[in-house]
Structure 1
Amino acid sequence: MLFEQVKTIIEENIKDSQVMVYDLTGGGDHLGITIVSDEFKGKMLLAQHRMVMDILKQKLSEDLHAVQLKTLTVEQAQAQGLV
């Protein structure tokens, strides 16, 4: 349930994003999140991560303990064979 909530929140706030959410520890409160979107074009990695963390701020204070982010543009994801 939490995975789907996180995925939906990101997809609703980052235009044309592809979001993959996975459990890092098996406990459900440490998530790995990979987000592919051209909304990240021209933004430094820190700005990309801040964008996502601002979106997830409330979830982090309620249900999540930690997240590991990977943010990519479509071009970067294609180069890595992710899309």
Structure 2
Amino acid sequence: MSTLGETIKKKLVDELQATHVQVTDLSSGCGQNIEVTIVSSQFEGKRLLQRHTLVNKVLKDEIAEIHAFSQKPLTPAEWAKRQPSA
């Protein structure tokens, strides 16, 4: 993972108490197109726009440096539903 990816992950874990963060560089390694999946209980009871606002506030400086940023903010229950059954 790139330095930017590590910074993004650390900030989301520290500030949103994320239990899972997956940072994917969709730009072939140049770091200009980032996709992030975030699982946090802080998203409970919040609409999608409110979740995005939380993430954008935490990553304000990082988002300003890249060309494209997409996020999938999920609650732990939503994340569990997306996991394959064992």
TM-score, normalised by the number of residues in structure 2? 0.86
Shift of 1:10: 1.1
How much is the aligned-residue C-alpha RMSD, in angstroms?
1.4
Q: Which residue of 2 aligns with 1:49?
A: 52
Q: For this pair of structures, how many residues does the alignment match?
A: 81
Aligned partner of residue 59 in structure 2, secondary structure: helix
Q: Which residue of 2 aligns with 1:23?
A: 25
Q: Which residue of 2 aligns with 1:14?
A: 16
Q: Runs of 4 or more off by more than 6 Å in structure 1? A: none
TM-score, normalised by the number of residues in structure 1? 0.89
CA distance in 1, matches of 2:33, 2:79: 23
Which sections of structure 1, spanning at least 5 residues, go unmatched? none
Q: Percent identity over the alignment? A: 32
